[in-house]
Structure 1
Amino acid sequence: MRPNRILHPELARALATLGHTDIVLVTDAGFPIPAGANRIDLGFYEGLPDICDILRVLRQEIFVEEVHFATEVRDRNPDLYANLQEIYTGAGAVFKGTTHEELCADYAKRAKVIIRSGSFNPWANIALIASTDPFAWFSPESNTKVLPAYEERRRLMTEKVVPALA
């Protein structure tokens, strides 16, 4: 057993395969997961596990540069929106709004892994765009110029910026 690490073997394996820009889609219990998708089904009872519990664990396990979700979350599900802000404060991730239809039609087909929760939380379908550690790839001792996007992610992390939909 690995203390303080993901115990679910399929989930741990799937996360280990992620590369920069791969999509991890974390969904509510009713999300229409496409046939043939790399589906990891964690939902076993209404609300268990909750999507926010899964996202909190993933926050500790992977670097994320973008968090995509239906724009309705901000105005129609403020508790979920506040939870997303709390989870991703200081993560260097940018919030991006989309539609539920786009999550179903586009993101679900492109996702490297889809994790289904037991959540019955409205609009609780979150696409995470995987990233690399912006501090590890460009060391201060190197003569390599840091890309502006990495500089911005470093700033967001260092200043513990609370993300928000634009």
Structure 2
Amino acid sequence: MKKHGVLNPALSARLARLGHLDTVVVADCGLPVPSEIPVVDLALVFGVPRFTEALDAVLGELVVERAWIAEEAVGQAPQEWVAQRIDEVHTISHDELKQRIASAAFVLRTGETTSYANVVLQCGVPF
């Protein structure tokens, strides 16, 4: 058994496959995901797990060089949640964010119900 880090086997496997410039989306429970994009669904009930819990778990495993949130999140809690954790955060329209999902390696679905609690993370390298 692992001593620390992500215990969910589906999430752990997906994270291990990521490389430089790959993107992954941490999403609220309502974000539409194209059927061809893999989803690791952690949602148990509304609010569980929270976006920040899932984001913290992912950030504990990955090097992230930049991120994108929806312009609609500016001034809202999701902007603060992401900005507190990631140095380079860009804003794009919510529609553009949804379009970027089509090129993501996978989507991590949380139980979050806060509007616009979605972030696209671009992987960096630790060297």
TM range (shorter): over 0.9
Q: Which residue of 2 aligns with 1:10?
A: 10
Q: RCO higher in 1 or 2 (8 Å CA, sep ≥ 6)? A: 2
Over aligned residue pairs, what C-alpha RMSD do you find? 1.1
1:129 to 119, 122, 125: 122
Deviations 1:96-144 (A, max 9, x none): 101111111x2110000111000001111100001101xx2xxxxxxxx
Alpha-carbon distance, 1:87 to partner: 2.1
Extract unaligned runs of 5+ from structure 2: none
Q: Which residue of 1 aligns with 2:58?
A: 58
Alpha-carbon distance, 1:3 to partner: 2.2
Equivalent-residue separation in structure 2 for 1:124 and 1:58 (angstroms): 15
Alpha-carbon distance, 1:44 to partner: 1.1
Identical columns (%):
28
Compute the TM-score of the two structures, normalised by the length of structure 1.
0.73
Extract unaligned runs of 5+ from structure 1: 137-166
Q: Contact conserved, 2:28 with 2:51, CA < 8 A, in 1?
A: yes
Structure whose residues are more often helix by fraction: 1
Equivalent-residue separation in structure 1 for 2:3 and 2:84 (angstroms): 24
Alpha-carbon distance, 1:58 to partner: 1.1
Equivalent-residue separation in structure 2 for 1:86 and 1:95 (angstroms): 10
Pairs aligned (count): 127
Mapping 1:105-144, distance limit 5 Å: 106-133=99-126, 136=127
Runs of 4+ in 1 over 3 A off after TM superposition: none
Equivalent-residue separation in structure 1 for 2:124 and 2:31 (angstroms): 25
1:94 to 61, 70, 88: 88
Q: Contact conserved, 1:25 with 1:107, CA < 8 A, in 2?
A: no
Alpha-carbon distance, 1:80 to partner: 2.4
Matched position secondary structure for 2:13:
helix
Compute the TM-score of the two structures, normalised by the length of structure 2.
0.94
